[in-house]
Structure 1
Amino acid sequence: MYVVIMGCGRVGAGLATGLERLGHEVAVIDHNPQAFRRLGTDFRGRQVVGEGYHRDVLVEAGAQKAKAFAAVSSGDNSNIISARVAREAFGVERVVARIYDAKRAAVYERLGIPTVATVPWSTDRLMRMLLPDWVATAWREPSGTVAVLPLPTHEGWLGRPVRELEEAAGCRVAFIVRFGTGLLPKPDTVVQAEDMVYVAAVSGTISDVTATAAAPPQEG
């Protein structure tokens, strides 16, 4: 597959060399010629100096034949503009842009440009390493506001409907894995032994949600 990468920082260079090792043909764009040093002497792909949102630069990089385009420079505006040009002007099938501003990421997702919101993603990865596994989120939407996480529950919740857990913890039960099979619960679905309950919760409330589920239900 032919891939064009805009930005030859650490991420762009790592992505380019990794794709090339897998046998893909790669072109890298960066406005700073010195940035290509990160690619190493073994890199065989195309190196194009210029701004990745300029049409002539994209043509030189071979965007017209590219099957994928990644915008991973240090600038949100440059990334999203170049990604849109690649998608709309060159018809590249697979386009992704790295975005630092999580709020912008949600907007660009609605425009049809898949994004990687760097700050929420990195924060979540660090949380996975620093905290117990049961606190780690399984998925986070682009703005980082809502997370889905596995929620171990106190044995006192067994035999109780999920609506009681939702009301007490301030979350929504997204799905339950029961005997290895996923199911979409109804409000009156009862929590059973060995269930793995996955809930959707607002990011700032995750600690409270997990603490509530780990404690026995409060009667009344």
Structure 2
Amino acid sequence: MKIIIIGAGQVGSTLAENLAREYHDITLIDLDEARLQFIQDHHDIRTVTGTGCHPDILLSAGIEDADMLVSVTNSDEINIVACQVAHSIFNTPKKIARVRARNYFIKDYKDLLFSDSNMPIDVLIEPEQAVTDYVRKLVEQPGALQVLDFADGVIRMIGMRATKNSPLVDQKLKTLREHIPKADARVAAIYRKNKAIVPSGDTVIEDGDEVFFIAAKKNIKK
């Protein structure tokens, strides 16, 4: 997987090092050229010096064919704008931003701000350690919108976007096993146009739905 990380602080550099060890194609962007050189000397990580939300810098980092952008600088605003640029200009599939200021999470504003039509950030992460853990889970489950673990990691819930080419679109949930015979999972929730739907056997999955599956972690990749 090709991943671009903006911010070579503790979170960004640790994330880059961990993912590089797992043989992912990692490019790290930061303004601190000396720190980038140190990281590059010790790890198999490509680096680019510059402001990560600038389109030309993202181009230099290879954003055009990147699978994921993770922006974890000390500036919430740079992280937000970087995701916006990645979406609007380069159509990057997955965009993750660390946003620490609670002002952005006020209930009346959050849903309006962070949406596909306004600020298209797929995942907003606040706690420092959660960034590394969350990205690694997403890498394990390509195509997932969200990944959450329960019961000490035994149970996993993943959120996926239903597309018109999916075997589940236009099908009732009770026929899930017919279309995906190896699926040992159940649908826990469906979000359609930002509204939650309580699923039943007769619920029909539509193109664009966010579908949340829950299963034993060992069965997820099946």
**TM-score normalised by length of structure 1:** 0.51
Larger fraction in helix: 1
- SS of 1:8's partner is coil
Correspondent of 1:116 among 125, 129, 140: 125
Contact 1:9 1:38 in 2 (8 A): no
Contact 1:5 1:16 in 2 (8 A): yes
For 2:56 and 2:37, locate their aligned partners in 1 and report how far apart those are by CA, in whole Å: 23
Aligned to 1:16: 16
Equivalence map 1:59-74=2 (5 Å): 59-74=59-74
Q: Percent identity?
A: 27
Contact 2:26 2:46 in 1 (8 A): yes
1:29 aligns with 2:37: no
Contact 2:87 2:120 in 1 (8 A): no
Distance 1:8 1:27, change over 3 A: same
Aligned to 1:91: 91
> Any unmatched runs of 5+ in structure 2?
132-185, 190-222
- SS of 2:92's partner is coil
- Quote how far apart the aligned CAs of 1:39 are: 2.6
Any idea what the Cα deviations from partners look like across 1:187-219, whole Å, max 9, x if unmatched? xxxxxxxxxxxxxxxxxxxxxxxxxxxxxxxxx
Any idea what the Cα deviations from partners look like across 1:98-135, whole Å, max 9, x if unmatched? 0111231435433331211238x79xxxxxxxxxxxxx
For 2:38 and 2:125, locate their aligned partners in 1 and report how far apart those are by CA, in whole Å: 22
Contact 2:40 2:47 in 1 (8 A): no
Aligned to 2:52: 52
- Quote how far apart the aligned CAs of 1:55 are: 1.0
- Quote how far apart the aligned CAs of 1:43 are: 1.4
The code of the aligned residue for 1:102 comes to: R
Any idea what the Cα deviations from partners look like across 1:74-111, whole Å, max 9, x if unmatched? 00111100111112211110100001112314354333
Contact 1:13 1:38 in 2 (8 A): no
Contact 2:30 2:49 in 1 (8 A): yes
- Quote how far apart the aligned CAs of 1:35 are: 2.7
For 1:92 and 1:112, locate their aligned partners in 2 and report how far apart those are by CA, in whole Å: 10
> Any unmatched runs of 5+ in structure 1?
123-180, 185-220
Contact 2:40 2:46 in 1 (8 A): no
For 1:87 and 1:15, locate their aligned partners in 2 and report how far apart those are by CA, in whole Å: 22
For 1:17 and 1:2, locate their aligned partners in 2 and report how far apart those are by CA, in whole Å: 14
For 1:37 and 1:20, locate their aligned partners in 2 and report how far apart those are by CA, in whole Å: 16
| Superposed CA RMSD | 2.9
- SS of 1:41's partner is helix
> Which of the two has higher C-alpha Rg?
1
